[in-house]
Amino acid sequence: MSPYTELCQTMEKLSTSSFLQFTLLLNLIAGAIAFVLTIAASYALWKSRVTKLFHINVIIIFQVHLAGFFIHCFNRIILHASDLYRYTLLDYCDMPSSTTRCFAFRIQYVYGLWLVGATTVPLVIERYIATIKSSSYEHIGYRLGIYLALLQVTIAFICTFIAFHEFSFDEPTMSYCIGVKFGEFNNAEIVSLVNLVVQIIARICFQFLFKQNEKLRSEQLTSTLSTRYSLEQNLKSIEILKCFANLQCAFMIVHMVLFVYILQSDADFEQSTYIALVELNSPHPFYAIVSILAFFRTVHSSEVKLKKNLQNHVNADQNVYFENFNKILQ
C-alpha cells in the first residue's frame, strides 16, 4: 500500500469518527464563546468600575493574559472549523492539511496558552514590589507594568520555542494538526510540568504576601489614610489573585494527570479516539470562560468589602492623628 493510499484511509477513519466530530464541534462552540467573552472582558478591564480595585500594572498584566486567550481561541476556531469543513465536504484524499499550515496555526495556538500560563510570574513580582513599597506604590506609574508584560511575553516565547524547536517538516501533509506526537512525552509536556510547579510556588507566594500585608496593616493603624488604602487594595488584590492561582493550579493538575493517562493508554485507542481525548483534555476555551466569569465575580465581591473596610478607617477616632501630630511637634 502506498503512503498516499494509507493516508487516505487514515483520513476516512478520522472524518467518520462521531466522537472526534463531536469533540471538535464542542471545542469550536466553546472557543467562539470564549473569543467573544475575552473581547468583552478586555473592555471591562479598562472601563469597568469594579476593576479600579487594581493598580494599573496589574491591569496591564491581565490584559496580556486575556490576549493569550484571544490568540488561542482565534486559532482554535480556525483549526476546528476547517477540520469539520474538510471532513464534511472534501474527498478523503484531499482532507490532509499542509504541514506548514498546521505549524503556523499550532504555534500561535500554543503561544496563546503560554501567555496565559506565564501570568503568575509577573503578578507575584508586581505584588511583591507593591508590598515592600506600600507607602508610595499608589503613585507609581505604568512603566513597571510594561516591563512585567514584556517578561510575560518573553517567557511565553521561550516556552513555545522549546515546545516547537523539534517540529518536523519532513512530511508535506499531516493527517491531523496536532503538536503532540502519538505515545510520546515530548518537550511541550516537560515544560508544562515545570509550569505546574511554578503555579504551585506562585500560590504559596501569594499566601505569604497576603500574610505580610495583614501584618503591615496591623502595624500601621495610625498611618495616613492613603497608606492604609494602598494596604487594603493590596490585600484585596492578593486575595483575588489567590483565587486566580487556585484555578490555574487545579486546571494544570487535572490537565497533566489526564494527559499522562491518555499518553500511557495510547496503544489501547484508535487514532481518532486518541486525538479526540487529547482535544478534550485541552479545554482551554472552557477554562477561559470559567476563569473570566469567576474573576469578575470575585472582583465585584471584593470591591464591596474594600469599601466597607475603608469606611471603617474613615470613621475611626481621628484623635489618633492629632496625638501623632503633637508628638512630632514636641
Question: At a CB cut-off of 8 Å and minimum separation 6, what does 296 contact?
Answer: 41, 44, 48, 50
Provide φ and ψ at 109, rounded to 5°. -55, -50
Q: Is the pLDDT of residue 3 over 60?
A: no
For residue 276, the tally of other CB atoms under 10 A from its CB is: 23
pLDDT the model gives residue 211: 84
The pLDDT score that the predictor gives to residue 214 is: 77
Closest CA to 14 of 102, 93, 98: 93
Residues 192-206 pLDDT 10s: 788 888 888 888 888
Phi, psi of 270 (to 5 degrees): -70, 155
pLDDT given for residue 29 in this prediction: 96
**CA dist 212 to 55, 131, 230, 302, Å?**
18, 8, 13, 19
State the residue for C-alpha cell 473569543: 35
Residue 111: pLDDT over 50? yes
- Closest by CA to 84, choosing from 140, 168, 32, 22, is 22
Please tell me the predicted confidence (pLDDT) of residue 230: 67
The average pLDDT across 182-199 equals: 74
Provide mean pLDDT across the span 134-144: 79
User: In this structure, what are the phi and psi dihedrals at residue 6, rounded to the nearest 5 degrees?
Assistant: -65, -40
Query: What pTM value is reported for the model?
Result: 0.84
Partners of 97 in beta bridges? 174
With b for 16 or more beta-carbon neighbours within 10 A and e for fewer, the 47-85 pattern comes to: eeebbebbbebbbbbbbbbbbbbbbbbbbbbbbbeebbe
More confident residue, 328 or 88: 88
Q: Is the pLDDT of residue 314 over 60?
A: no
- Split at pLDDT 50, 70, 90, the class of 317 is very low
Number of domains in the chain: 1
Q: Which residue has the higher pLDDT, 141 or 310?
A: 141
Instruction: Tally Cβ neighbours within 10 Å of residue 268.
Output: 9
CB-based contacts of 232, cutoff 8 Å, min separation 6: 217, 306, 309, 310, 313
Q: How confident is the model at residue 321 (pLDDT cuts 50, 70, 90)?
A: very low
Lowest mean pLDDT among 36-40, 218-222, 289-293, 323-327: 323-327
Tell me the C-alpha distance between 31 and 80, whole Å: 9
At residue 2, does pLDDT exceed 70? Answer: no
Nearest to 134 by CA among 225, 238, 216, 210: 216
Q: For residue 35, what pLDDT band results from cuts at 50, 70 and 90?
A: very high
User: Per the structure block, which three cell numbers stand in for 38?
Assistant: 475575552
pLDDT tens, residue by residue, 244-256: 888 888 888 888 8
CA distance 140 to 75: 36
Q: What is the extent of the structural domain holding 90?
A: 3-329
Q: Strand, coil or helix: what is 181?
A: coil
CATH number for the domain that contains residue 14: 1.20.1070.10
Q: Is the pLDDT of residue 137 over 60?
A: yes
Whole-angstrom distance, CA of residue 266 vs CA of residue 154: 33
The label of the residue with cell 472552557 reads: 286
